[in-house]
Amino acid sequence: MPAEREPRPRSPASSSSSKRPHASSSRSSSTSILPTLVNWLIIALVTNLALSRAVTQSWTWGYEGKWTNPRKIRDLLFPSPPLTLSESQLALHDGSNPSQYPLYVAIDGDVYDVSDGGMRNYGPGGAYSAFAGRDAARAFVTGCFKTHLTHDLRGLSDGDLEIVENWKSFYAKHAKYRYVGRVVHPPIDPSTPIPEPCDGGKAQPGAAAGAGSGTG
Ligand code: HEM
């Protein structure tokens, strides 16, 4: 006598399969556009990157701003609170011990971390190492890399002060440098003399700074 077969249970999938195409037909037409769109966007993005790389040797058509710098993007998304430094704290950041104290440049009170990209110019032996670990705003205008390493801007013309502002904006907009905070200076005694002009300060390249040669 043949064994009696138990009726095979119908899986929920098979039981509903006959109904599914009709039930979902209106929804699938609208949702299927999305993956196609995503595919095209990915293709467009990859093509754009490849073309840019082939034409400009850069992935971003030569643009190098904050939006292509991962560190800048991180700082924009997760900003760290600005620091307030004393002059002696700032001095530790002169590039002599960069693993412990990142390289800082200050101008008119604003302090920037220039470790990323600035080591050659501001690090020890660099052309502008005199600007590291201090606020030498005056020398930014006068080019007196020895005697004007001070934030004292007394006696400068409006045009000179505009130069300071331009430098400040240079650091603020720089793709790699990062705003750290402010350095607090002791107040300048108005009875102290204004720093003397130095001979030919502006005529000398910044290279005089680190080498210890050149103008006062
Ligand atoms: C008031 C006088 C000057 C000041 C305050 C000054 C300041 C500076 C500073 C701060 C930088 C570094 C900018 C950065 O972070 O990338 C720089 C770069 C440079 N400076 Fe000057 N500079 C002066 C005069 C000169 C002169 C007269 C020359 C040329 C004869 C010169 C040639 C250069 C060059 C070639 C660089 C780019 C270095 C590099 O990144 O490869 N500078 N300058």
Average pLDDT over residues 165-193: 96
Mean pLDDT check: name the lowest of 109-113, 127-131, 168-172, 175-179.
175-179
Residue 12 lies in a domain: no
Specify the residue with its C-alpha closest to ligand 1, atom 10. 128
As a whole number of angstroms, the distance between CA 23 and CA 207 comes to: 77
Q: How confident is the model at residue 72 (pLDDT cuts 50, 70, 90)?
A: confident
Ligand 1: nearest atom to the Cα of 145: 5
**CB distance 148 to 142 below 8 Å:** yes
Q: How far is the CA of 212 from the centre of ligand 1 (A)?
A: 15
Same domain, 54 and 72: no
107 conformational bin, left if phi > 0, alpha if psi -120 to 50, beta if neither: beta
Same domain, 47 and 150: no
Predicted confidence (pLDDT) per residue in 4-52, tens digit: 454 444 444 444 444 444 444 455 555 678 888 999 999 999 999 999 9
**Within 10 A of 51 (CB to CB), how many other CB atoms are there?**
11
Residues in Cβ contact with 140 at an 8 Å cutoff, skipping those fewer than 6 apart = 107, 131, 163, 164, 167
Spatial strand order of the sheet with 83-86 comes to: 83-86, 178-184, 110-113, 104-107
Domain that holds residue 100: 68-211
Q: Residue 28's pLDDT is what?
A: 54
Q: Residue 69's pLDDT is what?
A: 72
As a whole number of angstroms, the distance between CA 155 and CA 111 comes to: 23
pLDDT at residue 90 tops 50: yes
Average pLDDT over residues 111-119: 96
Q: Are strands 104-107 and 110-113 parallel, antiparallel or unpaired?
A: antiparallel
The response to whether residue 210 sits with its C-beta less than 6 Å from ligand 1 reads: no
Q: How confident is the model at residue 199 (pLDDT cuts 50, 70, 90)?
A: confident
As a whole number of angstroms, the distance between CA 113 and CA 152 comes to: 22
pLDDT at residue 116 tops 60: yes
Same domain, 126 and 41: no
For residue 155, the domain's CATH number is 3.10.120.10
Which of 17, 39, 63 is the last residue in one of the domains?
A: 63
pLDDT at residue 173 tops 60: yes
pLDDT at residue 159 tops 90: yes
Same domain, 93 and 173: yes
The response to whether residue 95 sits with its C-beta less than 6 Å from ligand 1 reads: no
The response to whether residue 177 sits with its C-beta less than 6 Å from ligand 1 reads: no
Same domain, 99 and 197: yes
Q: How confident is the model at residue 208 (pLDDT cuts 50, 70, 90)?
A: very low
104 SS3 class: strand
Q: Residue 66's pLDDT is what?
A: 65
Same domain, 72 and 52: no
More confident residue, 113 or 26: 113
pLDDT at residue 3 tops 60: no
Specify the residue with its C-alpha closest to ligand 1, atom 12. 121
Same domain, 74 and 59: no
Number of domains present in the structure of the chain: 2
Same domain, 49 and 81: no
DSSP state of 34: H
Rounded to 5 degrees, what are φ and ψ at 105?
Answer: -125, 140
The rounded mean pLDDT for the chain is 82
More confident residue, 10 or 74: 74
Q: Residue 16's pLDDT is what?
A: 42
Residue 14 lies in a domain: no
Q: Residue 27's pLDDT is what?
A: 53
Percent of the chain clearing pLDDT 70 (strictly above):
77
